[in-house]
Chain A
Amino acid sequence: MDQDMLQSSEKATQSQWALIRRRFFRHKLGVISLATLIILYVVAVFAEFFSPYPPGHRNPDTPYAPPQTVRFSFEHGLHAKAQVPNIDPVTLNHYYTISDEVVPLGFFVRGEPYRLWGLFEWDRRFFGPVNSGNGDGESTLDAGLNTFFWLGSDKFGRDQLSRLIAGSRISLSVGMLSILATFLLGISIGGISGYLGGRVDNLIQRIIEIVNAFPQLPLWLAFAAVLPGHWSSLRIYFMITLVLSLLNWTGLARTVRGKILALREEDYAVAARLLGASHFRILFRHLLPGFTSHIIVTLTLSIPVMILGETALSFLGLGLRPPIVSWGVMLQDCLNMDLVDAYPWILAPVFFIIITVLSFNFLGDALRDAADPYR
């Protein structure tokens, strides 16, 4: 601290954040989580490029194909063994035998053309089967039987990996969007409650208690019933984010209120009031900057709640519905235990949900440790 004091003022302004950064990078698990999340979000942003197939493309011949392993040999390079579909005559279960036929794999292969973000037309995909017979305008999907399902396929023979990547766009952004709404609601309601105090504070706190006491599941059911069936998927998606944040702002509002109550009577806030500064100015220039790091941590820790919320809603069929791909929607297939038993790879979204939620939690913990000066 003494050294900081001697340094120039420019460094002093950043010293708090620099300290937080330094402490954060000492937290190994936190750094790993941050890296994981960056990878997940980059993949989600460039979903079309990273997924080997369009998420909705069906392969009627290969339903419930098991995951294929990537092999390497000097003769074929990266490749996988082709799988031949069979049906068990008794149970009618699908099973596959591995043939000797080789499916060549590669990076930056030519695949089904797509429009990245609906803007740029391209046909390169990050990783997938190398298909012969393309380039002459014919769809690569119909040209050959060279299919490759790294994480298996679902009941319509759709590639699970492609769907997971496409679904991550929805599932990961739900968290971000609803956190934004939560942030706005929590800061403003909590800020007003703590700043004005008295009767307003009392009223808001009682409302928060009522919201918290509401049983969530029936409320979700009610919301789902209210959403008209003919609404576009985009509109439903935004409604879901809104519903999630409407139930989750209370925690942040409480935190903010407590902090504001504590800081409101600080001399510097009193001094600003004495100058005749507006409520807005005192709140946003003097009080909130006192606990920005705290807010960031709280928000990070509540993103997984949102992601789980979306997944749960969609899984129950109350949230997003099938033409949209999200992790929760994919899990709807797992409602049937017999299917899960026979084709366990359809549980793949669970794995990604766990990874994401854990990463956010570890990241939040690391940020909290880093931002807390009293250790």
Chain B
Amino acid sequence: MNSEPQSANGDGPPLMELRDLQMFFPVKGGVLQRTQAQLKAVNGVSLSIRKGETLGLVGESGCGKSTLGKCAVRLLRPTGGQVLFEGNDISSLSRKALKPYRRDIQMIFQDPAESLNPRHSIGSLLEEPFLVHGNRDAADRNRRVLKLLDIVGLPASAIEKFPFEFSGGQRQRIGIARAIALNPKLVICDEPVSALDVSVQSQILNLLMNLQEEFNLSYIFIAHDLAVVKHISDRVAIMYLGKIVELGPTEEIFRNPLHAYTRALISAIPVPRPGQRRERILLKGDVPSPIDPPEGCAFARRSWIPCEPEELDKPGEFREVSPGHWVELHPATVEDYASYQR
């Protein structure tokens, strides 16, 4: 496709770089369980994350954003492309070879009720990262756990308690504490607030932002809630059917969305002022199945932008239209397509 959209004001090499990442799942069927088709969850994604930045990853459910996150932390082994972390390709490392990288790349899960083992106390949950990475000093572990609790704003007495004794927001704080325990450089946040009360969401978001400042963390922030992404992200990537369709600085994306899909998404954000209305863009039809997705531009047939029928199956072209702002160009995805043609 293209080599990484390096941002214009990029300083130094990126912390993590995804190159043409592909994650295909075989769809098996029939008596002999033969592979009948490929489910292309992530279909050629190139991205980079710089140190200390937050990259928002937005898309509707099923578009492959969680799969992308799992490939980035190497919970899944991508079927194609590369995952470069600080210049090293970790996309096909074995479990053992990955262990040192586990310190650097961590993940915050969507539902803290499920990501914390209900049978373990908070103390044992939080000391696990240290134990796994060879800290044999119980007193030292205990000290670190207490410090973690302090950092995420929980009382020291939590150490003896069990996950079910906490509220959703507190549990997510524990999940965050576990993720940052080993001083990671990159944290993938997989919808970390979508299971929480709206009132608690902002507390958790603020905690994440404070931690980022304090520990110079980088985030890949996966969400479907644009308002949340707008609040926390430096850059935003819009994902549709396994591909990035638009990528750019948050402000630019929200002020000047170019891709038809991005514009449809933004038009769906509720407006907080009564009386004021945004014009809602409604898309035609459903998302095509990621099993054998259409050749060419996957979005063309759903777009409201008129397009010559013979151009529908033409592939789009991912190009930088202004510094740092990349978009998939296709007659049906951007208005005034001709002006982008060189």
- Interface residues of chain A, those whose CB is within 8 Å of chain B, are 5, 9-10, 12-13, 266-268, 270-278, 281, 285-286, 289-290
* Interface: B99 (CB within 8 A): yes
Decide yes or no whether B129 CB sits under 8 A from chain A. Answer: yes
A267 and B114 in contact (CB under 8 A), knowing A275-B128, A276-B98, A281-B132? yes
Could you list 11 examples of A-B contacts with CB < 8 Å?
A: A5-B164, A9-B161, A12-B161, A13-B162, A270-B75, A270-B115, A271-B109, A276-B102, A276-B133, A277-B128, A281-B132
Instruction: List 16 other contacts, CB 8 Å, given A273-B75, A275-B128.
Output: A9-B160, A9-B161, A12-B164, A13-B121, A267-B110, A267-B115, A268-B115, A271-B116, A271-B178, A272-B117, A274-B75, A275-B102, A275-B178, A275-B182, A281-B132, A285-B120
Smallest CB separation, A5 vs chain B (Å): 6
Q: A9-B160, A9-B162, A267-B111 are in contact. Are A274 and B117 (CB under 8 A)?
A: no
- B109: chain A residues at CB < 8 Å are 267, 270-271
Shortest Cβ distance from B114 into A: residue: A267
Give the B interface residue count (CB, 8 A): 30
Most chain B CB atoms below 10 A, which of A10, A267, A274, A285: A274
The 10 closest A-B pairs by CB, nearest first: A276-B102, A267-B115, A268-B117, A267-B114, A276-B99, A9-B161, A9-B160, A277-B132, A289-B119, A271-B115
Closest to B100 in A: A276
- CA distance in complex: A238, B178 (Å): 48
Residues of B within 8 A of A271 (CB): 107, 109, 115-116, 178
Closest to A279 in B: B95
A274 touching B164 in the complex, CB below 8 Å, given contacts A266-B114, A267-B111, A268-B114: no
Interface of A is mostly: helix
Is the CB–CB distance between B116 and A5 below 8 Å?
no
A274 to B69, CA, bound (A): 12
**Residue B49 at the chain A interface, CB threshold 8 Å:** no
Segment 88-102 of B: residues with Cβ below 8 Å from A: 98-99, 102
Once the chains bind, are B162 and A12 in contact (CB under 8 Å)? yes
Tell me if B218 is interfacial: C-beta within 8 Å of chain A.
no
Query: What B residues does A276 contact at CB under 8 A?
Result: 98-99, 102-103, 132-133
* Complex Cα spacing A16 to B98, Å: 37
A9:B165 contact, CB within 8 angstroms: yes
B106 within 8 A of A: yes
Residues of B within 8 A of A266 (CB): 114
Q: Is B236 an interface residue (CB 8 A)?
A: no
CA distance A13 to B121 in the complex (A): 9
A274-B75, A276-B102 known; A9-B121 Cβ under 8 A: yes
Q: Are A274 and B114 in contact, with the CB atoms below 8 A?
A: no
B334 at the interface (CB under 8 A from A): no
For residue B73, CB closer than 8 A to chain A, the reply is: yes
Docked CA distance A271–B106 (Å): 9
